[in-house]
Structure 1
C-alpha cells in the first residue's frame, strides 16, 4: 500500500464506515418490518447529518488546537458517532439473525458517498547497526565504562545512566552497546529490561530472572524473587540494562538493587532515562552520560535512508534544499527525522515535500504533552483510517511488545479495517499495519517480525474515549464517553476493575487486561451480572484472564462482540450462549488448563 500524503481527518473514516452501514440498512426491507415509518425517517435524517458533517472535518481537526469550542464539538460528534454505530450494528445484527420474509422486495435508496483513499521507541535488545548514524563516539565512551573493572567500596556493581529527551536515541545507543562483541564477551550474564510504567520491584526483578533464564518466571513474592536473583548473580559478572526508567523513589530502587551486591566486581547496570533526578538515584552526577542531539549532517543521512531518496536520482537536486529545511525543524531528534523520512518515503513530487515544510502544524505551540512538532506533522498527514488504527494502540502499556496478528484481529473487531472487494479483512489489516511500520510509527521488536513496539504519541490523540488504568489509587474517574478500556497494572484484588471509579463508562467497546495472570486473583462475576450487563453490553473486544465463569445472562447480551480472549483463565466450561453471538470473529482459549467442555449448540 502506497503512502497517501493527503492525510485525512481522524473522524472521516468513522463517518464513512457508518454511512456505508446505514446505506446497507436502508436497503434492507427486513429492518423495517413490524416498525412504523419513524425508524426509517430517523435513519434518513442521520444519513443527511453525516453528509453535512464530513466536508468540515479537515478544517475542524486543525482548528481544535486553538479553539476549545471546536474541540468540544469534535468530542461530542465522536460520542454521537459511537452511539449511532452501536444502534446501526444492533439493527443490522437483528436483521441478519431474523432474515426477511420477502427477500425479493428491495427498497434501494441512493446515498451520498465520499471516497476516502488510501501512525516511545522503546525497549528491545535487538538493533540493526546500519540504521544508526552519528553515535560512534557515544558508543565507544559507554563501552569503555562498561569494560572498566573499577568499582566503589560500597558495591561490586556500578551504574551509568544515559540521560536525554524523548526521541533522542537513548535506547538505540543502549542497544548498540548491549550487542557489541566486546561487551558480550565481557559479561557472562546479561539481561535487558524495559521498565517504563511497570517500575515496581516485583515486576522488574521477575523480568530480569526471565531474561536470564529465557523462560517465564511464575513467582510473585518479592522476597522469593530477590533470593532467586541473588542466586543467579552470585559469582557472575553481569550486565543489566534498565531501559526507560521514570520513577525516582530512592528507597524502592535501593531495595531492588540488593541482590546485585553479590555479583563479581565489574558487574554493571546501564539505564536510560529522561530525568536527571532518576539518574541521580543510581549514580553520581559525574557519571551521567548526557546524550546530545544529532548533528544536521547526521540527521540528513537518517532522513535519506528513511525517505529512500537516492543522491543519484534526477529529483535529488530539487528535493535536497527542501529536505534540509525540513530537517532543521526536527531540531536534531532522530525519531522525528525517521518519522518524517518515512512519511515522504518514495515521494518524488516537489509539492509533497513543500506541503510538509509549509504545514501550519509546525506553528502549533507544544503543550503539556511535550509532543515534538515533527511527530504531529507526521500524524497529521496519515490517512484517516490509519489515524484511528494508530490511536487504538494507545490502549497498550508503554513500551509493550505487541503481536502484529493480534492487533489486526482487534482492529477488525472494532470495524477499523474497512472491507474491499476480493480481499480478506486480515490482508487489508496487514496492509494498514505495514504502512504504519513504513512510516516509523511501529518499530520491529523481534527478528521474526511478529512483535513490535511503538512511540507513545498515540496516547496524546486518544482523548477521553480511551482510558488506560496504570494504578488503582488514581482518583481520576473514567469518563462517561470512554469506549475503550485497558488495564496494565499488576494487582491482587481484581474486583476493583468493576468498582468505582472504573464503572462510569456504560457503553464500553473494548476491555483489555494486559496484566500477568500469575499476579492476580480470579473473579466470579455471576453475583454482579446485572451491573456487568449494563457495563459490557456494547463490547466489541474482550480479553481478560481473571474470570472463573461467564454466565449466560451476560454472554447472551453481547450481540456486538467480535473478539473474545479467555486465554489463561481457570474457566471450566463455556456458555452455550457463545454459539448465538452472530458477530463473533475470534475466540481464544490458549492455556485454559481447566476447560472441560465446549458448547454443544449449533453456531449461528
Structure 2
C-alpha cells in the first residue's frame, strides 16, 4: 500500500502547472444562475446553458490533462470526469427547450434547479483539485529556491520517507496532499452518481434537442449619448423659476429663515433625477447660489451617508469624520449665513423625526436657500410641509417617447432603413407607456437588431402579455436582458448585490466578475470584462457616466429601476441587508442558498448576524462598516471563530473595518480570488497565511494607513494580477517576491526603502521584469523618492502605458528636515517618465529647481500638480514647455515671491508664440510669500497668454498684491479668490483694478458671489 501511495504521489507531481492553472480558470466560469418569479411561476434557473457550458469547458481541459502517465493518479478519477462530461453534453443539447418550457412546467423548473446546484458543486470540487496541484508546484519552487536550486539528500527540518525503488524522497506534506486528492476523487464519484439521476430525469419531460444559431448584430458605439433630453423643457423652466423666486420667504418660530423645499414627485424612470440635474447644472442657478450640494438618499435612510455626501459636495472630503455630530459641525461652518442649493435625490423615508435634525441644520442658511427633493412618494412632500411647492412629473407623450426611442434605435442607419423600420418602431415605442427610461432601454435594444423580422419578434414577444404587475413592469428590461449573451447576463446580475446609487468603478467591477469566474476561458479576462461592460452600457444598463480625458468610462451608476430589476432576477441567491443595533437576533434570510451577501453595518456597533456564517454556499461577502461601526470586540471574535465556515468564498470585502490583523484562518479560503480591505485604518499587518491563497487575483489594501509590513511570502501569490496599496503610509518597502509575480497587471504604489534596508525590499529597477504591468486608468505613485540610491535603474521611460504618475519625495525620516538639494534634483532628473505621460504630481520635493530636462518632452501632459515643494524659489517656463496642459495647480511653494515672464515662457522674439495654449483651469493655493504676479512685459504678447483659460482659483495667498493685466484678454468665466487679504483690498478699493475683471460672469470672493 505504501509503495502504491508513493507511485501515486510521483504521478501527481508530474501534472503541468500551466495546464492546471488554465483548468482552474475555465472551471470557475460556471456561476450565478439567476432566480426570479415570472407570472406566479418560480422561474428559478435561466442561466443553465451558460452554467453547463462553463463546466464542460473545464472538464474538457482536465480530460486533456489526464494523460496515460497520470492514469494512476487516483483510481478511476479519469473515468468519473469523462462520465461527467458525457452526461452534461447530453443535457446541454436540450437546455434551450427546457428553459423555454419551464414557464409552464414546475417539474422542469425543479430539474433545472437541481442541475444548477450540482454544477456549483462540480465547480468547487474541481477548483479544489487544481488548487492542490498548484500548491504542490508552489511548494516545490519555494523549496528549490531555499536550497539554491540543488537537490539535497535530506532536509533536516522535515521527516522523509526514502525508498530505493523510486530513488526519490517525498515529504509528509506531500503524503497528506495525496490524501486530499483521494478525498476529492471520491466526491467527484458521488457527484457523478447524482448527475446520473438528473440526466435520467430529463427523459420524463419530452425535451427536444435544439441548435443555437449565432445572432447577427450591428456595430454600435461604446455607450449611449445622454445629451438629448425630451419633454422636460416646461418642467425645467417652472422649477428654475421656483428656485430663483425670493418673493415669499418664510421664517421659523425663532426668526430664522426656513429654506423653501421643492419636491419633484413621479413614478420610477420618469425623469425626476434628470430634471434635478438640469436645474443643478444651470448657469443661472450656479451664479445665484453660493453653495450647491447634492446628496443621494435612497432607502434605507442613512443619516451619516447623507451628511458625508453633502460635505463631499462642499469640501471634496469629509476628513474621515466618524460621528454625525462632527459631520453636522462641518456642514454648519460651510452653510451658515450663505445662500445654498441642496438636492436630496431619491428620498423614500417620510418619517419626520428622522429628518428633523437635518431641517434644523438647514435653517442656518441665508434667506433664499433652497432644498430640492426627488421622490416617488407624495407622502414625503407632505411630511416636509412642501406640498404646495410640489412639481409632479407627468408621463411623456407618445411622440416624445418616439423621439427618445428613434434617436437610439436608428443610430448609424441610413434614411431608407429608418423609413422601412418606422412602422414597427412606433408600435414598439408605444409600449414605453410614457417612461423615458423604458424608451431609452428599448431604443438601445433595437439599435443592435438588423432585420425587420427581428423588430417584429420584439413587438410580438410574450413578455408584453405578462399579467403579474411586478413582472409586467420589468417586461422591457427582460427583452434587453435576454438579448445579452449568457456571460454578460451573469455580469449584469452580479450588480444586484450593490446598494442603490452605488458608484461603480468599471475596473473594480471587472475584477469582481473575474473573481466569480464569469470571465474564465479568456486569455485576457480584463479585456473580456471590458467587452461585457461595453455591452451593458450600449443597452443602457448603466448611466451617469464619468468620462476620462480619452473618453473612457471611469465611473457610472445604475438607475434605481434597473437595480430593482437586477435584485428581482437574483433574489433566490443574493442577500443585501442593513444591520441595525436591534437586529442581533436576525433570522436567516428567506433565501434557499445564499451565494452572494452584502451587509451594511449601521452605527453604534451592531452585531454581525450569525446566520450569515450558516451559509456554506456563500461565494461573495461584502461587509460595509459605516461611521463608528467596526469589526472589533464581539464582532471580531465572531469573525475569527466562524471564518472556516466561509470556505467557498471567491470574493471577500471588509470595507472601512477596524480590524488590526487579518485572521490567520484566511489561509483556508482556497477559492478566494478577491480580497478588499479598503480603508481598514487600524490594520497593522497581513497574516502570513494570506500567501497561501494561491488563486488570489486582486488584493486591495488602499487606505490602510497603519499597515507596517507585507508578508515575505508574497511571491507565492502566483495568480495575483492586481495589487492596490495607495495610502499605506507606514509601509517601508515591498517584499522581493513581488518582482517574480509574472501575472501582475496592476501595481499602484512603489515604496523606495532606506539605504540600510534596500537589500531586503524590491527596488525600482526590479519592476522592469514585470513586463505585464499596465497603468491605464490608474495613478502610479513612487513614494519616498528621496531614498533612491541606484539612479541608473530609476528611469521610467520603458513604461509607455503609464498615464498618471505621482513622485512623492516625503521624508525618509521625519526627524531629518535637511536634505541635500543637489542630490534631490539628481533624483528628480533620474525619474524620467515616458513622453506619453498625461498626468504628473510632484510633492514634498526639497530641491530648489523644478526644471528637469525631461519636462520639455512631455508633449501630451494634460494635468500638472506641484505641491509642498517648500524650497523651490521659482517656477519653470511651463507656458512654453507643456503645449497640451489643461489643468495646473501650484500649492504650498512657500519661497516663491514672484511669478512673471519666466513662468509664461515668452520673450520679445516670440511674437507669434502662445503661452499655455490649452490651459483651462489654473489654481494657486497656500503660497505664503507670493507677492507679485506680473504679466508679460511685452504688451504685444498679452493676447497670446492662456487663450483657453476658463477657471482661476487663488486661495490662501495672503500677500499677493494684484492680478496680471493679460487675464482680461482670456475667456475666463469663473474667478475664485479666498483668504487673500491684500489682493481683496486692492480689488475692492481700486475701481480701476476691479473693472479689469468685471466682465467675468462668475466672481466668488470668500465664498460669496459678487454681483
Structure 1 and Structure 2 fold alike (TM over 0.5): yes
Q: Does residue 1:89 correspond to 2:89, yes or no?
A: no
CA-CA distance at 1:409 after TM superposition: 0.4
Does the 8 Å contact 1:469/1:487 carry over to 2? yes
SS of 1:597's partner is coil
Q: Alpha-carbon deviations, 1:153-177, whole Å to 9, x = none? A: 3343011111111111111111111
Greater CA drift, 237-246 or 501-510: 501-510
Match of 2:669 in 1: 558
Q: Alpha-carbon deviations, 1:541-568, whole Å to 9, x = none? A: 111142322233x122111111111222
Which structure has the higher relative contact order (CA within 8 Å, separation 6+)? 1
CA shift in 2, pair 1:529/1:245, >3 Å: closer
Distance 2:59 2:431 in 1: 44
Match of 2:594 in 1: 482
The partner residue of 1:364 within 463, 466, 486 is 466
CA-CA distance at 1:117 after TM superposition: 6.2
Distance 2:389 2:271 in 1: 19
CA shift in 2, pair 1:355/1:263, >3 Å: same
Match of 2:654 in 1: 544
| Aligned residue pairs, count | 572
Q: Alpha-carbon deviations, 1:500-528, whole Å to 9, x = none? A: 33223112111123444x43223378855
Does the 8 Å contact 1:560/1:583 carry over to 2? yes
Q: Does residue 1:16 correspond to 2:126, yes or no?
A: no
CA shift in 2, pair 1:480/1:134, >3 Å: closer
Q: Alpha-carbon deviations, 1:420-451, whole Å to 9, x = none? A: 3xx51111100110110010001143233211
Greater CA drift, 216-225 or 60-69: 60-69
Q: Spell out the pairing of 1:500-511 with structure 2 (5 A cutoff).
A: 500-511=610-621
Q: Does residue 1:28 correspond to 2:65, yes or no?
A: yes
Does the 8 Å contact 1:315/1:348 carry over to 2? no
CA-CA distance at 1:72 after TM superposition: 4.1
The partner residue of 1:241 within 343, 347, 355 is 343
Distance 1:245 1:66 in 2: 39
Q: Does residue 1:189 correspond to 2:291, yes or no?
A: yes
Q: TM-score, normalised by structure 2?
A: 0.54
Match of 2:860 in 1: none
SS of 2:370's partner is strand
Q: Alpha-carbon deviations, 1:113-156, whole Å to 9, x = none? A: 998968xxxxxxxx987321111111101111111112223343
The partner residue of 2:505 within 403, 418, 431 is 403
Match of 2:238 in 1: 141
Does the 8 Å contact 1:514/1:544 carry over to 2? yes
Distance 1:225 1:429 in 2: 38
Q: Alpha-carbon deviations, 1:168-192, whole Å to 9, x = none? A: 1111111111111111111111101
Does the 8 Å contact 2:263/2:386 carry over to 1? no
CA shift in 2, pair 1:32/1:239, >3 Å: farther
CA shift in 2, pair 1:235/1:467, >3 Å: same
SS of 1:214's partner is coil
Match of 1:532 in 2: 642
Greater CA drift, 499-508 or 233-242: 499-508
CA shift in 2, pair 1:221/1:531, >3 Å: closer
Q: Spell out the pairing of 1:224-235 with structure 2 (5 A cutoff).
A: 224-235=326-337
Match of 1:54 in 2: 92
Greater CA drift, 318-327 or 590-599: 590-599
Distance 2:270 2:62 in 1: 50
CA shift in 2, pair 1:583/1:410, >3 Å: same
Greater CA drift, 528-537 or 590-599: 528-537
Greater CA drift, 474-483 or 212-221: 474-483
Does the 8 Å contact 2:94/2:210 carry over to 1? no
Match of 1:106 in 2: none
The partner residue of 1:211 within 293, 297, 313 is 313
CA-CA distance at 1:489 after TM superposition: 4.3
CA shift in 2, pair 1:328/1:476, >3 Å: farther
CA-CA distance at 1:461 after TM superposition: 0.4
CA shift in 2, pair 1:556/1:163, >3 Å: same
SS of 1:90's partner is helix
Match of 2:975 in 1: none
Distance 2:210 2:651 in 1: 29
CA shift in 2, pair 1:87/1:343, >3 Å: same
CA-CA distance at 1:284 after TM superposition: 3.8
Q: Does residue 1:458 correspond to 2:458, yes or no?
A: no
CA-CA distance at 1:585 after TM superposition: 1.0
CA shift in 2, pair 1:234/1:324, >3 Å: same
Match of 2:282 in 1: 180
SS of 2:345's partner is strand
Distance 2:211 2:457 in 1: 23
Distance 2:469 2:79 in 1: 44
Q: Alpha-carbon deviations, 1:82-115, whole Å to 9, x = none? A: 22211111112223334699xxxxxxxxxx9998
Q: Alpha-carbon deviations, 1:196-232, whole Å to 9, x = none? A: 1252223212321221111134323333333332332
Structure 1: stretches of 5+ with no match in the other structure: 1-7, 102-111, 119-126
Distance 1:71 1:341 in 2: 32
Greater CA drift, 268-277 or 569-578: 569-578
Distance 2:226 2:79 in 1: 62
Match of 1:4 in 2: none
Distance 2:397 2:616 in 1: 51
CA-atom RMSD, angstroms? 2.8
CA-CA distance at 1:372 after TM superposition: 3.0
CA-CA distance at 1:73 after TM superposition: 3.9
The partner residue of 1:571 within 683, 687, 708 is 683
Q: Alpha-carbon deviations, 1:459-494, whole Å to 9, x = none? A: 110122111112345655234511111123434436
CA-CA distance at 1:586 after TM superposition: 1.0
Distance 1:75 1:288 in 2: 48
Does the 8 Å contact 2:318/2:327 carry over to 1? no
SS of 1:239's partner is strand
Does the 8 Å contact 2:613/2:642 carry over to 1? no
Q: Does residue 1:79 correspond to 2:117, yes or no?
A: yes
CA shift in 2, pair 1:275/1:15, >3 Å: same
The partner residue of 1:268 within 367, 370, 380 is 370
| Larger Rg, first or second structure (1 or 2) | 2
The partner residue of 2:631 within 506, 511, 522 is 522
Structure 2: stretches of 5+ with no match in the other structure: 1-44, 141-165, 167-208, 216-223, 719-1011
SS of 1:451's partner is strand
CA shift in 2, pair 1:487/1:583, >3 Å: same
Match of 1:109 in 2: none
The partner residue of 1:43 within 81, 84, 99 is 81
Distance 1:489 1:526 in 2: 13
Match of 1:412 in 2: 514
CA-CA distance at 1:279 after TM superposition: 2.1
Q: Does residue 1:585 correspond to 2:623, yes or no?
A: no
SS of 1:195's partner is strand
Match of 1:122 in 2: none
Greater CA drift, 469-478 or 87-96: 469-478
Match of 1:353 in 2: 455
